[in-house]
């Protein structure tokens, strides 16, 4: 069966599973539902398990423009087959924060392009491209165990520069990146805390919010205890 035939069948399945109540709930959480049916990620992951990694299928699903099909595409896409042209085209299609985050976590962070895009996408002024850049940073901070502290310290100037972007979807992603970097180990925690303390003194409201929120978590007893335990194990 061709990827196009598979995609057509899957699109019909997604449409049949659609739920107006779920769609309304998605909208309340700030998700763009213009082309959404109201199907949960849990349901989409079930479909993904049935098909496995299938890059041509992922491309066909993405090209449909349906919100849930695009989320599914990020799950079944093969990171080893990711090309610069593809990820840059897909990131330009993003129109919702959940799709941006799924695109980064499910697909881009597992590809050879992850670090370069974590540095370049934040510089793009488009809301969801910048969101994707900082989301990618946050996901790498959580999942890339081989990266060194220097890799993440090198991202901090981008956080400082764009903390003044007051767009909600950008601001929250910048904050997310700073917090996740600061939870990797004590050295990065100290660097992230210093950054947060600097942001608190900024003239921009968004920067002050990012700084305060990051400080609250990064200096908390819970995070400090976890970092101490991690340091002891090492």
Output the six-digit token pair for 68.
């849930």
Taking CA atoms, 163 is separated from 142, 160, 233, in Å, by 20, 5, 34
pLDDT tens profile 125-181: 999 999 999 999 999 999 999 999 999 999 999 999 999 999 999 999 999 999 999
Contact in structure between 200 and 211 (CB atoms under 8 Å): yes
**CA triple 23-25-31, angle to 5 deg:** 75
4 has a pLDDT exceeding 80:
no
- Topology (CATH) of 112-234: 1.25.10
What is the reported pTM? 0.95
pLDDT tens profile 7-66: 999 999 999 999 999 999 999 999 999 999 999 999 999 999 999 999 999 999 999 999
Domains of the chain, by residue range, sit at 112-234
Contact in structure between 185 and 231 (CB atoms under 8 Å): yes
d(CA 170, CA 173): 5
Output the six-digit token pair for 159.
């956080």
Contact in structure between 115 and 140 (CB atoms under 8 Å): yes
Diameter of the chain measured on Cα atoms: 59
Residue 228 pLDDT level (bands cut at 50, 70, 90)? very high
Taking CA atoms, 153 is separated from 87, 140, 177, 192, in Å, by 25, 13, 12, 9
């Amino acid at each position: 069966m061709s990827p196009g035939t598979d995609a057509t069948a899957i699109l019909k399945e997604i449409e049949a599973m659609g739920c107006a109540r779920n769609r309304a709930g998605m909208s309340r959480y700030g998700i763009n539902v213009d082309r959404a049916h109201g199907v949960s990620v849990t349901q989409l992951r079930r479909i993904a398990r049935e098909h496995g990694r299938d890059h041509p299928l992922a491309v066909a699903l993405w090209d449909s423009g349906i919100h849930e099909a695009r989320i599914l595409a990020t799950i079944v896409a093969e990171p080893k087959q990711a090309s610069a042209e593809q990820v840059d085209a897909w990131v330009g299609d993003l129109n919702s924060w959940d799709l941006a985050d799924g695109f980064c976590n499910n697909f881009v962070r597992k590809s050879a392009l992850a670090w370069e895009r974590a540095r370049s996408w934040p510089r793009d002024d488009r809301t969801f491209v910048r969101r994707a850049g900082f989301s990618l940073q946050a996901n790498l901070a959580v999942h890339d165990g081989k990266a060194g502290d220097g890799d993440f310290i090198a991202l901090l100037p981008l956080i400082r520069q764009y903390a003044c972007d007051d767009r909600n979807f950008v601001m929250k992603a910048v904050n997310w990146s700073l917090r996740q970097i600061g939870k990797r180990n004590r050295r990065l925690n100290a660097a992230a805390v210093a950054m947060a303390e600097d942001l608190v003194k900024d003239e921009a409201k968004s920067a002050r919010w990012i700084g305060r929120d990051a400080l609250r978590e990064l200096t908390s007893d819970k995070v400090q205890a976890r970092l101490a335990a991690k340091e002891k194990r090492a």
